[in-house]
Structure 1
Amino acid sequence: MTPELFKYLLVGGYALLVYGLSIIGMRRTDSVQGFSIGNKDMSPVVVGITLAASIASTATFVINPGFVYQHGLSAYLHFGVAGSLGITAAFLVLTRGFLRLGETHKALTIPQWIFYRYNHRGFSLFFAFINLLSVTFVVLILVGCSLLVTGLFPVDQKTALVGVLLFVFSYVLMGGTYAHAYTNTLQGIMMLLVTVLLFVLGVKYFEGDFLGSLARVSADYASAFNEDSSLYFDFFSVFVSGFVVTFALMLQPHILTKVLYLRSERDIGWFIGTTVVVGALFTLMLMIGFYARLAGLEIDSQDTVVRDYLLHEFGTSVWGEYLLVFIFVTLLAAGMSTLDGILVSLSAMVVTDIVKPFAREGGSDGLALSRWVLVGVGVIGLALAWNPPPLIGLFAQKGVYGLAAASLVPVLFGVLVRRHIPLWVVLGAAAIGLVLHLLFNLALGVENPAISATYGILASLAFGLMGLLVTRPISAYGVRPESDLTP
């Protein structure tokens, strides 16, 4: 069997398997709830793998290794260490309380959860609209996947864009959450195999001396704080912003709503454990940035580092061509594993939180409309990805980090604070987080969106804590009542 024939057979087999899983999902999807969060009959291990694959995505597997290639150890510590700690902390702090409140009110989306927690339709609608910023991440994934397809097939990037879009949207349209979860489990296992394989095969470039090999590139490249970098140059930009913004990113609708897939609180331990372990292994993909640099590759476009490294490493031998096909298909799966999650959450959110509150009573449950919304999101994503900006990673971060900055205080306080929280506290905090992020990043020259978002988050948190303090209920005896205590 020639490598060319193997390529088409593998891609065709993968597509058929994904469609088969989607058909299974379609048979189990007969309502908006089933489309959005399933019917609460999935294993916590399956949900954990689904979530880890959604978090990793094209950013970790295709785009972020380019930052490591360009900026060195500081970028790896930012994404791989500080980011992993932020993910772990977020789920340890938020999972139980978010699931408990979501179960009580049968919430399907983050804005609906916000509505039940704060009992204000306008605030919920505000969250629904700012969650549309997730479309910037859709653009990142479409561009990243299209770059991989051009390395796999002799097609131009625009043709690849359309092909990726049609494939992912077709299987998500059928099965919703079940298609997303089942295919993500398959894709997550493939991603684990390829991550370990690429890590092991590339270790040779360190020549037994990790820091020494990086120092041979430059002292700044091997430094935890790269003074030559405009993005990762001190403790705040590397560790603080990496931890804070990743913690907040776990509040994205396609991530935190995975908690609502769980059957009960008894599943939380397995869910968090699976997510953390699998997610930590996925960060080894960032090493490709080091490998490409140490291999001496001169790559003009940071976004193509992974593609160019793989072609260099495996494209010159027959066995390498076979392996290259499997790796490219797996990296495509990494992108699709996040893209389908975003699509499901965005379509469910638009129907549940924007359309249905203003629709007449007694209408359909919105399943058909959820699918039409998917089509609309696809058209918008394709339009934005058609002529993508340089450094697509920074473009996506501007949008999703703004969403993170606005979400942290309302969700965090909603989970941890039992008493009534006045609307002005959380609304003001959300507005401060979003506006300051955009102000610092777009107007005041803060190039790293993680830094501008962290400034916004810290200011938002300070405002929220001050609001809690001044609205703190006092009993007749001058002490806090029991209902004011956090869990």
Structure 2
Amino acid sequence: MSAEFFKYALTFGYVGVVYWLSYVGMRRTRDVEGFAIGNKDMSPYLVGITLAASISSTATFVINPGFVYEHGLSAYLHFGVAGSLGILSAFLVLARGFLRLGEAGSALTIPQWIYYRYNHRGFSLFFAFINLLSITFVVLILVGCSLLMTGLFPMEQKTALVLVLLFVFSYVLMGGTYAHAYTNTLQGIMMLAVTVVLFFQGFKYFAGDPAGALRAVGEDYAQAFNQSSSLYFSFFSVFVSGFVVTFALMLQPHILTKVLYLRSEKDVGKFIATTAVVGSLFTLMLMLGFYARLAGLEIDAQDTVVREYLLHEFGSSAWGEYVLVFIFLTLLAAGMSTLDGILVALSAMVVNDIVKPLASEASNGLVLSRWVLIAVGIVGVVLAWNPPPLIGLFAQKGVYGLAAASLVPVLFGVLVRRHIPLWVVAGAAGLGLGLHLFFNLIVGIANPAISATYGIFASLVFGLGGLALTRGEARHGEGEV
């Protein structure tokens, strides 16, 4: 079998399996609730793999190794260590309480959860609109997947962009959450296999002395805090911001709402353990940034590091071409595993938390959620058509702003049992988002994780101060506007 025939056979085989899984999901999707969070009949292990694949995605598998290539050990510690600890901590702290409160109100989305917790439609609408910042991550994934497609097939990047969009949207339109979960399980298993293979295959570049190999690149490159880096130069920028922002990122709609897929609190432990183990293995993909640098590759476009490294390693031998096809297809699957989750969450959120509260007449929520998916796709392609030079930083500006706004309302909503005045959480949300944008866009802080962490700390101080001032207030409702 020729490598060219194998490439197309494997690709069409993968597409066929995904569509079959989506068809199975479509048969189980009867309404907008099933489309958004399923029917609460999925295994916690399946949900855990689904979440780990959603978290890792194109950022971990395609874009973030470029930061490691450029900035060295400090970037690896920021994403791989501090970020992993933030993920684990967030679910240990929030999962049970979020599931308990979400079930009590039958919440399908984060803004709907906010509405049930704080009983204020205006605040829920605010969250629904700022959650649209997730579109920046859609752009990152579309760009990353299109770069991989150009490495696999002889086509223009813009053509690849459209093909990726059409494929993902078509199978998500069919099955919603079930399509997302079933296909993510398949994609997650493929991602695990490729991660392990690439980790061991490239370890030769360390020549038995990882620290020495990194020092050979440059003294700063091998340091935990890279003094020549504009992004990862201190304990705060590497560890504190990496932990805090990743903790807050777990409040994104396509991530935290995975908890609502579970049958009961009894499944939470299995779900968290599966997510932690699988997610930790996925972070080994960051090592490709080191391997590309140690292999002596001179890569001008940081976002293309993974593509260029794989072509260098596997593109020159007959057997390597077969391996390369499977690897590229798996990395594409990694991107799609997050993209489909974001799309399901965004479409459910727009329908439940923006259209329905503002519309005068009720509509078919399932049909409307699918039309919303199409609209999100069009916007995503427009933004990805001529992407900025560093797509990773572009996406971080948006999703980190969402994280800065979300942390206090969700964290306090889960952990504080008493009534919380609306002004406390609304003020904290606005302060977190506003300061992140101010420090990043106006002051000029290059690393969005740092600006978002400043915003989060300020919102926490504001929120804790508000709780202290209102400790003696009687429990009462805020009312609806």
TM norm structure 1? 0.97
Cross-structure match for 1:478: none
Aligned counterparts, 1:77-476, within 5 A: 77-360=77-360, 363-473=362-472
Shift >6 Å, 4+ stretches: none
Once the 2 structures are TM-superposed, how far is the Cα of residue 267 of structure 1 from its aligned partner? 0.2
Secondary structure of the 1:419 match is coil
Secondary structure of the 1:406 match is helix
Once the 2 structures are TM-superposed, how far is the Cα of residue 452 of structure 1 from its aligned partner? 0.2
Counterpart Cα distance in 2 of 1:376 and 1:409: 30
Counterpart Cα distance in 1 of 2:94 and 2:323: 40
In the alignment, residue 310 of structure 2 is paired with which amino acid?
Answer: L
Per-residue Cα deviation, 1:298-352 (whole angstroms, up to 9, x for no partner): 0000000000000000001011000000000000000000000000000000000
Once the 2 structures are TM-superposed, how far is the Cα of residue 360 of structure 1 from its aligned partner? 3.8
Counterpart Cα distance in 2 of 1:470 and 1:360: 39
In the alignment, residue 370 of structure 1 is paired with which amino acid?
Answer: S
Counterpart Cα distance in 2 of 1:211 and 1:451: 27
Secondary structure of the 2:304 match is helix
In the alignment, residue 459 of structure 1 is paired with which amino acid?
Answer: A
Cross-structure match for 1:10: 10
Secondary structure of the 1:298 match is coil
Cross-structure match for 1:35: 35
Q: How many residues matched?
A: 475
Counterpart Cα distance in 1 of 2:358 and 2:196: 49
Counterpart Cα distance in 2 of 1:31 and 1:415: 28
Per-residue Cα deviation, 1:411-454 (whole angstroms, up to 9, x for no partner): 00000000000000000000000000000000001000000000
In the alignment, residue 80 of structure 1 is paired with which amino acid?
Answer: G
Counterpart Cα distance in 2 of 1:359 and 1:164: 32
Secondary structure of the 1:216 match is helix
Per-residue Cα deviation, 1:376-427 (whole angstroms, up to 9, x for no partner): 0000000000000010000000000000000000000000000000000000
Matched-pair identity in %: 80
Structure 1 residues 307-316 or 349-358, which shifts more?
349-358
Gaps of 5+ in 1: 476-480, 482-487
Counterpart Cα distance in 2 of 1:390 and 1:233: 22
In the alignment, residue 239 of structure 2 is paired with which amino acid?
Answer: F
Aligned counterparts, 1:45-56, within 5 A: 45-56=45-56
Counterpart Cα distance in 2 of 1:243 and 1:177: 29
In the alignment, residue 448 of structure 1 is paired with which amino acid?
Answer: N
Once the 2 structures are TM-superposed, how far is the Cα of residue 474 of structure 1 from its aligned partner? 7.0
The answer to whether structure 1 residue 25 and structure 2 residue 13 are counterparts is: no
TM norm structure 2? 0.98
In the alignment, residue 306 of structure 2 is paired with which amino acid?
Answer: V
Per-residue Cα deviation, 1:9-63 (whole angstroms, up to 9, x for no partner): 0000000000000000000001000000000000000000000000000000000
Counterpart Cα distance in 1 of 2:62 and 2:215: 24
Secondary structure of the 2:221 match is coil
In the alignment, residue 400 of structure 1 is paired with which amino acid?
Answer: V
Counterpart Cα distance in 2 of 1:33 and 1:50: 18
Per-residue Cα deviation, 1:87-141 (whole angstroms, up to 9, x for no partner): 0000000000000000101000000000000000000000000000000000000
In the alignment, residue 284 of structure 1 is paired with which amino acid?
Answer: L
Once the 2 structures are TM-superposed, how far is the Cα of residue 358 of structure 1 from its aligned partner? 2.4
Once the 2 structures are TM-superposed, how far is the Cα of residue 364 of structure 1 from its aligned partner? 3.9
Output the aligned Cα RMSD.
0.9
Cross-structure match for 2:479: none
Once the 2 structures are TM-superposed, how far is the Cα of residue 365 of structure 1 from its aligned partner? 4.1
Per-residue Cα deviation, 1:205-241 (whole angstroms, up to 9, x for no partner): 0001011100000000000000000000000000000
Counterpart Cα distance in 2 of 1:397 and 1:342: 15
Counterpart Cα distance in 1 of 2:153 and 2:364: 41
Secondary structure of the 1:96 match is helix
Counterpart Cα distance in 2 of 1:34 and 1:259: 14
Counterpart Cα distance in 1 of 2:159 and 2:358: 39
Counterpart Cα distance in 1 of 2:113 and 2:444: 35
